[in-house]
Structure 1
Amino acid sequence: MATLESTVDKTASTVVPLHPLLARRWSSRAFDPDHEVTDEQLAALLEAARWAPSASNTQPWRFAVTRRGTAEHAAVLDTLAAGNQVWARAASALVVVAARTTGADGAAQPWAVYDAGQAVAHLSVQAQAEGLAVHQIGGFDRDRLIAVLAADDVVPLVVIAVGLRDEPARLAEPFAQRETAARVRLPVGDLLLPVRVRQEG
């Protein structure tokens, strides 16, 4: 059986050392179709997300967890773009991430989407610690996914494929090639914004 360590090494090439959980995290599309994620692992992922920071502690994130082989998993899979279905069907679980963008009082929660993103970041690092891979999927039919969720007060943001990383050779092209391609990021200098300072007088 494939393991997280036995597959392609795509450790980030960084200017300064990063924690291995961050440096070794990457978004795999190759998932072991025989792997089953445990209740304890799923609980750890959700617990990590639960303890993410949020504006005024509003905790706007919501999750729908579906396991491969269930009707719920099939329903979520069916909302994905066809190209994503090809590889995401092998994932042990598909987790829908949604946000409550209004509070119980009806007031807007303008930071809800940002906060939900922080929760997913926590989840992805915890997955790495659990020996699991995750791939966040933005290609889905929003209206169909809303219809699948048994909640009318949330906005679906992303679907996360969770499972054990597998060998790229099992993937069809072009996905197999993408799996082994080098990871690329802009240099930090390109990400920095200047700050205007108002001159007095």
Structure 2
Amino acid sequence: MSSIKIATTQNEVIDLIKNRWSPRSFSAKDISQATLETILEAGTWAPSANNSQPWRFIYALRGTAGFDKLLATLAPGNQPWAKNAAALVATIGIRETPDTQQKNHYYMHDVGMATSYLLLQALEMEVYGHIMAGFNKQQASEVAALPANEEPVSIIALGYIDDAEKLEEPYKTRELTPRSRNPIATIAAHLD
């Protein structure tokens, strides 16, 4: 039986947010191209300054050479479980617009917004995502043949959730540990 970790919140947060978490146990079920394209399109509808959309997504499906290339960029601690994901998606930030060479000082924020939309759409379709910062950026840039004005920001493992019991340690314990967040009082302050 798969593990679902629903957040216990202080306030009435919508279920889609309470249900979003980052599993490591993925099933053998493949993601269809249509499902993946829907998930990726959701990312395009995130807010961005003047609709600049300073992001790209480079993806590969399990069982392809591209998947193996992205998997090889991951840190050794991510590879043992990420190899079972149905897809790997590299999120790419565009530091300056190619046509005007104008720097975008908020591109990382915008990539994060696009990633959050992507993850929420995925969850709505019962596809889970696990974002990873543990990867070799230089190697990912080379694999994706990125131009100088672009950089990899994260790699997301996407797939259908599976039983935590199939994971080796320390991943199994991490999968089963209850979720927690800082209380509102520690992250927000009312300005008088």
Range of TM-score over shorter length: over 0.9
Partner of 1:155: 151
Q: Which residue of 2 aligns with 1:3?
A: none
Q: How does 1:111-126 map to 2 (within 5 A)?
A: 111-126=106-121
**Identity across matched positions, percent:** 34
Aligned partner (choices 176, 184, 187) of residue 183 of structure 2:
187
Give runs of aligned pairs for residues 40-79 of structure 1, distance below 5 A: 40-79=34-73
Distance across 2 between alignment mates of 1:26 and 1:66: 22
3-state SS, counterpart of residue 64 of structure 1: strand
**1:169 aligned onto 2:151:** no
Aligned CA RMSD, in angstroms, stands at: 1.2
Query: For residue 74 of structure 2, what is the aligned residue in structure 1?
Result: 80
Deviation at 1:118, TM superposition (A): 0.1
Q: Could you list the runs of 5+ residues in structure 1 that have no partner in the other structure? A: 1-5
Question: Does 39-48 or 156-165 show the bigger shift?
Answer: 39-48
Q: Which residue of 1 aligns with 2:12?
A: 17
Q: TM-score, normalised by structure 1?
A: 0.91
Task: Note if 1:30 corresponds to 2:22.
Answer: no
Give the superposition deviation at 1:192.
1.5
**Count of equivalent residues:** 190
CA distance in 1, matches of 2:64, 2:142: 17
Please list, as runs of the form range in 1=range in 2, the aligned pairs for 1:129-148 lying within 5 A after superposition.
129-148=124-143
Measure how far apart 1:60 and its partner are: 0.4
Gaps of 5+ in 2: none
1:194 to partner: Cα distance = 5.8
1:101 aligns with 2:98: no
Q: Higher mean Cα deviation, 144-153 or 178-187?
A: 144-153
Q: After TM superposition, where is structure 1 displaced by more than 6 Å over at least 4 residues in a row?
A: none
Query: Which of these two proteins has the greater Rg computed from alpha carbons?
Result: 1
